[in-house]
Structure 1
Amino acid sequence: MDSLIFLVPLALLIGVVALVIFLWSLRSGQYEDLDGAAERILLDEDEDRGPGA
């Protein structure tokens, strides 16, 4: 039972830190373009360079 006195506040602290990091990532625009990377992988890089490249 003594370990709960240490573990419960530690778990709450870790949860608050994770929430703060998540909110920071939302405000910094990390989730703005979710489809961009998924679509870029399908594009052929040779088409972007043009002929003779």
Structure 2
Amino acid sequence: MTALAWLVPAALILGGLGLGAFLWALRSGQFEDMDGAAYRALEDEPPDDDDAPRR
């Protein structure tokens, strides 16, 4: 029974943190361009030298 005293509040806190992170991402515009990444993956042109990762 004492395990429930720790698990229920821990689950509520973690759920609240997850909800808060989702709402923060929603407000900061993370989900604005859902199709852009799919189209960029299909482009035939190579990326610019400025966008290429450095080795």
Structure with bigger gyration radius? 1
Deviation at 1:45, TM superposition (A): 1.0
After the TM superposition, list the runs of 4 or more consecutive aligned residues in structure 1 that deviate by more than 2 angstroms: none
Q: Does 1:34 align with 2:46?
A: no
The two structures, once aligned, show a CA RMSD in angstroms of: 1.7
Please, which runs of 5 or more residues in structure 1 have no aligned partner? none
Q: Tell me which protein shows more helix as a share of its residues.
A: 1
Please, which runs of 5 or more residues in structure 2 have no aligned partner? 49-55
In the alignment of these two chains, the number of paired residues is: 48
Query: SS at the partner of 2:43?
Result: coil
The aligned counterpart of 2:53 is none
| Paired-residue identity, % | 56
Matched residue type, 1:10: A
TM-score for the superposition, normalised by structure 2: 0.80
TM-score for the superposition, normalised by structure 1: 0.83
